[in-house]
Structure 1
Amino acid sequence: MTENQPSADSDKPDAISEQAMTWFVRLRAESVAADERRLFQIWHQAAPAHREAYAEIAAFWEDADFHATLDAATLSPQISLNSKPVNSPRRRLGIAPGAKPLLAAAACLVIAALIYQPALSCWQADYCTAVGEIKTVQLSDGSQVTLNSGTALNVNMRNGRRHVQLVRGEAFFEVQHDSQHPFQVDGRYSNTRVLGTRFVVKEDADSDTVSVVNGVVEVSRDRQNPATLNANDSVEVGARHQGEIRHQPADNATAWLKGSVSFDNVPLKKVIAEIGRYRRGSLIIRNQVSQDMKVSGRFDIRDTDKTLESLQQTLPIRIYRFTPWLVVIA
């Protein structure tokens, strides 16, 4: 038996799941030796748990919802060109050299579709951060901007203007007061105008969120009917609407500055989207039931594998790592 050969002597559920996925991938290679097929049969017949785990993986791969989520994953890129594998101790696939399994092929297609957009954002931006990187820059007017993971922005400080365009991601602004020259930040959907304050602008797929730490800001959509936000206020601005002002602790919006994220009864879908900002690759939730599960707690963004592990221990979900860059939650 080779070093990567699935072991048949472990009864632990996690080990059995890993073995089942490894066999599933191996048997879809272009060529499978007779000896390897025989070893699979031995493993498959060794215990009911082996057969159940293999049947679960096979059904999971054939499921139409899973293919739909793979297709949808191309809409939310989270990979940069300097991506490196994340060390994932659980459920890693041992793929034989030269094999072209369906799972790995699908994962590669997803990665190929995702890999370029963040890099393009950096090429088009004055400042940007890689996935997992947080960086503070000082502007020529004395203001400071802290860029969250996977963020890109453009800055125009010419001819008395103080204008920032958030291309993608999230940024924390500490604006130097200047009553003669308002500081403006344009997101995908939102327009924010201040004289001097501290606030966060966060871009999501379908809306921007502006949260104020202190001071006063004006937020609008298409620069029409601005809403005035004070400390601990936040508002969401979408393509067709501007939400109501919400009053909540600003610490939640700025938790990432200290290496964590906080959630209070938030759907798992949003939690995973947030965690995905801080890791290379794609996190996919397989079904609607899992997406709607509610999550509360504070999680470490510096170790997203640990965060996923915590979610798996507290929720009725299972995590499958098809590659270091493709994780599916079911």
Structure 2
Amino acid sequence: MSSGTKAANERKAIRAAAAAWVVRLDAAPGDPSLRDDADRWIDADPRHAVAFAEAQLAWDAAPHIRLRDEEGQAEEATAPEEAPVPAAPLISRRAVGLGLLAASAVGAVGLGRLLLPGEERRATTRGEQSLTRLADGSSIRLNTATTLAISLSGARRKVRMIEGEALFDVARDPRRPFIVDLGDAEVRVIGTSFNIRKRADRTELTVTRGLVAVSDAEGQSIRVGAGETTLIRPGVLAVADPGEALIRQRTAWQDGVIELNDETIEEAVAEFNRYRDQPIVVADPRIGSLVISGRFGIHESREFVEALKSSFAIAAVTTANGSIALTGAEGPAPRIAPAPGRATE
């Protein structure tokens, strides 16, 4: 059996178990023993928690159904008295469970954003940054467009990173490990400082102090120390010593700065667009690979555009909705390499 087939089968089994737990809990809402068993199953694996949230969402999305237990006795779901609904068809609990599996298989809107029991949400909008201080003495600085779910207990400290970027400064507590759940990988520390940026296709981890352990869904595990970075994506965990320049560049955002060090214009534009409501668009393929260096404030995108215009044969047009289109200026196409100049702040 290939690793991909095995992983798919595991996901299917987890979804089936999650659906079963949701149905059992709904049938016996006052059973503390059952609730404890379910919580233990949820806590055993980050994938369990996500699957349970998916199943719960699908269940809650259909409040006006009549359920038939396995003995065939019907029970009416609660509906507001002032808004009666037509009688729904009778379906069995087994059918509902199968429906939950189907819903989770195709995905539901915003599943990753669901809060699990005991979690608190922290989020920033595009262009916003914020600092969250935790009761254990740790702090988390959130960069633009970031969403976290935080849960603290007597046994552990856990943050589920849903999207975005954050700098973690974790207070040391050997009795309670601090866990960052990335969905397809997990970062575990006792006390340290590190930056995580979760992109669409990969996650970048940069450790600035202490030591962290990283494990992924494939069973791989590595340790990353101060001054080191790792790239996390399915099947890939690799430690690198990038040097002080890259460490400084990856954490410059906490000082409100974008550092460019021989980035292409395409890459630089993508960085500024993280903080803009209306994007900068590279509308001319001739200029996308030009290289630029410099240091700008995160909201100095217009200064960045002016630097491009003064250093390259580039024109910028602001559209009616506020976006900026970059094109090659009239005349010969700009040279791609080597870069004709360096733009600075």
TM-score by length of structure 1 reads 0.58
Question: Aligned residue for 1:171?
Answer: 166
Give the counterpart of 1:311 among 308, 312, 318. 308
CA shift for structure 1 position 154: 0.7
1:284 aligns with 2:281: yes
1:197-208 alignment, distance < 5 Å? 197-208=192-203
Question: Aligned residue for 1:139?
Answer: 134
Q: 1:287 to 1:240 in 2, by over 3 A?
A: farther
Q: 1:233 to 1:134 in 2, by over 3 A?
A: same
Can you give the 5+ residue segments of structure 1 that lack an aligned partner in the other structure?
A: 1-118
Give the counterpart of 1:152 among 135, 140, 147. 147
Task: Find the aligned partners of 1:122 and 1:303 in 2 and give their Cα distance.
Answer: 30
Letter in 2 for 1:230: G
Question: Aligned residue for 1:126?
Answer: 121
Q: Name the stretch that deviates more: 196-205 or 236-245.
A: 236-245
Aligned residues: 213
Per chain length, whose mean CA-contact separation is higher, i.e. which structure has more relative contact order (CA < 8 Å, sep 6+)?
Answer: 1
Q: 1:167 to 1:322 in 2, by over 3 A?
A: same
CA shift for structure 1 position 231: 1.3
Q: 1:220 to 1:288 in 2, by over 3 A?
A: farther
Segments of 4+ in structure 1 off by > 3 A?
119-125
Letter in 1 for 2:137: G
For the 8 Å contact 1:191–1:223, the answer to whether it is kept is no
CA shift for structure 1 position 121: 8.1
1:266 aligns with 2:251: no
1:29-40 alignment, distance < 5 Å? none
Question: Aligned residue for 1:321?
Answer: 318
Can you give the 5+ residue segments of structure 2 that lack an aligned partner in the other structure?
A: 1-109, 328-345
For the 8 Å contact 2:218–2:235, the answer to whether it is kept is no
SS of aligned partner of 2:319 = strand
Q: 1:292 to 1:243 in 2, by over 3 A?
A: farther
Task: Find the aligned partners of 2:283 and 2:215 in 1 and give their Cα distance.
Answer: 35
Task: Find the aligned partners of 2:112 and 2:310 in 1 and give their Cα distance.
Answer: 36
For the 8 Å contact 1:185–1:191, the answer to whether it is kept is yes
Q: Name the stretch that deviates more: 292-301 or 238-247.
A: 238-247
CA shift for structure 1 position 268: 2.1
1:194 aligns with 2:189: yes
Give the counterpart of 1:296 among 293, 296, 300. 293
Q: 1:300 to 1:324 in 2, by over 3 A?
A: farther
For the 8 Å contact 1:156–1:162, the answer to whether it is kept is yes
Task: Find the aligned partners of 1:270 and 1:246 in 2 and give their Cα distance.
Answer: 22
Give the counterpart of 2:215 among 207, 220, 232. 220
TM-score by length of structure 2 reads 0.56
Task: Find the aligned partners of 2:176 and 2:302 in 1 and give their Cα distance.
Answer: 44
**Any idea what the Cα deviations from partners look like across 1:100-138, whole Å, max 9, x if unmatched?**
xxxxxxxxxxxxxxxxxxx99888670111222111011
Task: Find the aligned partners of 1:123 and 1:328 in 2 and give their Cα distance.
Answer: 36
Give the counterpart of 1:161 among 153, 156, 169. 156
Question: Aligned residue for 1:241?
Answer: 236
Letter in 2 for 1:225: Q
Q: 1:187 to 1:123 in 2, by over 3 A?
A: closer
Letter in 2 for 1:176: A
CA shift for structure 1 position 143: 0.8
Question: Aligned residue for 1:65?
Answer: none
Task: Find the aligned partners of 1:192 and 1:300 in 2 and give their Cα distance.
Answer: 30
CA shift for structure 1 position 189: 4.6
Question: Aligned residue for 1:36?
Answer: none
For the 8 Å contact 2:151–2:157, the answer to whether it is kept is yes
Q: CA RMSD in A?
A: 2.6
Q: Name the stretch that deviates more: 238-247 or 300-309.
A: 238-247
For the 8 Å contact 1:234–1:248, the answer to whether it is kept is no
